[in-house]
Amino acid sequence: FRFTHSISRMPGQSIASGLRAGGGPDPDPALFIAQHKAYLVALGEAGVEPSCLPALEAYPDSVFVEDPALCMPQGAILLRPGAKSRAGETQEMLPVLYTHFDTVHILQGPGMVDGGDIMVTDDEVLVGLSARTDESGFSELETLLAGWGHKARMVQTPASILHFKTASSFLGDNTILCTEVMAQSGVFDAYQIVQVAKGEEAAANAIRVNDTILLSAGFPKTAQILRERFADLKLVELDTSQAALVDGGLSCMSLRF
Ligand code: CIR
């Protein structure tokens, strides 16, 4: 969670064509852009140098830069997003990764991995199998990570959610913020677990950036739990209502390294 840089991408006018599991209203591009700006400001205030790429109208979901790549201290890995409409986002991300990293590995496939299913903790890299991430993708990623000395662990993303990190976040200090379902799954038995408040499941996609926790706004009970638990950290609540309309959250909108 100690980061000096981040990469994001502006939401496009095409954002309403982004993938989403449920129905619901379309996100409003102007409001999304305003919320995205506040997100970048918060990342900057947390101590990273945020960079923001121009919108890609051909890829409505490209604002969710977390999915096509994984950034580690040793280098970056270009992933293979599991949704067909998002596959082309990788070719847009590759040159960007080269500007930040000397070493960039490229997943060759045929397996698939979405960055939203990858959680990097201090001791391991958890990879949740989901509709977007499969075993073959995990194996290829595991081999690349092993070359950098990282242990990968294959876990299950609950069927009801899009990504592993939709319902869980690593907050540093061996601590995970997650939903009740995730807490009871056993996946995080080696960690301290902080559960989001009942009815506030969407708060589980938070991010720790240096000495700040970014949390989605509108989850006052979880905010209070975090304030008490992490009294020495700054808690910043950000409106993510527009990202949420297309199944996105805080972690999805940046690559942090
Ligand atoms: C998608 O379905 O791919 C996007 N609408 C949302 C992606 C959210 N990304 C993430 O959780 N890492």
Long-range contacts at 93-97 (CB < 8 A, ≥ 24 apart): 93/65, 93/68, 93/69, 96/7, 96/53, 97/69, 97/71
Query: Is the Cβ–Cβ distance between 234 and 190 less than 8 Å?
Result: no
Counting ligand 1 atoms within 8 A of each CB, the residue from 9, 64, 90, 255 with the most, and so the one to mutate, is 64
Catalytic (active site) residue 178: no
Which ligand 1 atom sits nearest the alpha carbon of residue 246? 5
Query: Is the Cβ–Cβ distance between 249 and 167 less than 8 Å?
Result: no
* pLDDT value of residue 180: 97
**Ligand 1 pocket residues where CB is under 6 Å:** 18-20, 61, 64, 66-67, 83, 86, 115-116, 162-163, 166, 246-249, 251-252
Rounded to 5°, the CA angle 13-206-150 comes to 105
Per-residue pLDDT averaged across 9-37, rounded? 97
Q: Which CATH number fits domain 5-18+25-256: 1.10.3720.10, 3.30.70.1350, 3.75.10.10, 3.30.470.20?
A: 3.75.10.10
Which pLDDT tens digit goes with each residue over 106-162? 999 999 999 999 999 999 999 999 999 999 999 999 999 999 999 999 999 999 999
* pLDDT value of residue 17: 97
* pLDDT value of residue 237: 98
Q: In which residue are the tokens 């589980």 written? A: 204
Give dist(CA 165, CA 15) in Å, integer. Answer: 21
* pLDDT value of residue 122: 97
Instruction: Say whether 61 counts as a known binding-site residue.
Output: yes
Mean residue pLDDT of the chain comes to 98
Counting ligand 1 atoms within 8 A of each CB, the residue from 246, 250, 253 with the most, and so the one to mutate, is 246
Which ligand 1 atom sits nearest the alpha carbon of residue 66? 12
Q: Which helix (H) or strand (E) holds 34?
A: helix 29-45
Give dist(CA 99, CA 213) in Å, integer. Answer: 27
* pLDDT value of residue 113: 98
Instruction: Say whether 97 counts as a known binding-site residue.
Output: no
Instruction: Say whether 132 counts as a known binding-site residue.
Output: yes
Q: What is each CA distance from 120 to 24, 74, 81, in whole angstroms?
A: 32, 13, 18
Which ligand 1 atom sits nearest the alpha carbon of residue 117? 12
Q: Which helix (H) or strand (E) holds 71?
A: strand 69-72
Q: In which residue are the tokens 């081999």 written? A: 143
Expressed in angstroms and rounded, the spacing between residue 220 Cα and the centre of ligand 1 is 24
Expressed in angstroms and rounded, the spacing between residue 149 Cα and the centre of ligand 1 is 28
Judge whether residue 75 has pLDDT over 90.
yes
The DSSP secondary-structure symbol of 246 reads: T
How is the chain split into domains, by residue range? 5-18+25-256
Other C-beta atoms closer than 10 Å to the C-beta of 137 total 24
| Cβ-Cβ contacts under 8 Å for 107 (sequence gap 6 or more) | 77, 78, 79, 80, 113, 137, 140, 141, 144
3-state helix, strand, coil in the chain (%, to 5): 30, 25, 45
What is the percentage of the chain residues whose pLDDT exceeds 90? 99
* pLDDT value of residue 23: 87
Query: Is the Cβ–Cβ distance between 213 and 171 less than 8 Å?
Result: yes
Catalytic (active site) residue 100: no
Which ligand 1 atom sits nearest the alpha carbon of residue 83? 3
Which pLDDT tens digit goes with each residue over 194-225? 999 999 999 999 999 999 999 999 999 999 99
Phi-psi region of 129 (alpha: psi -120 to 50; beta: other; left: phi over 0): beta
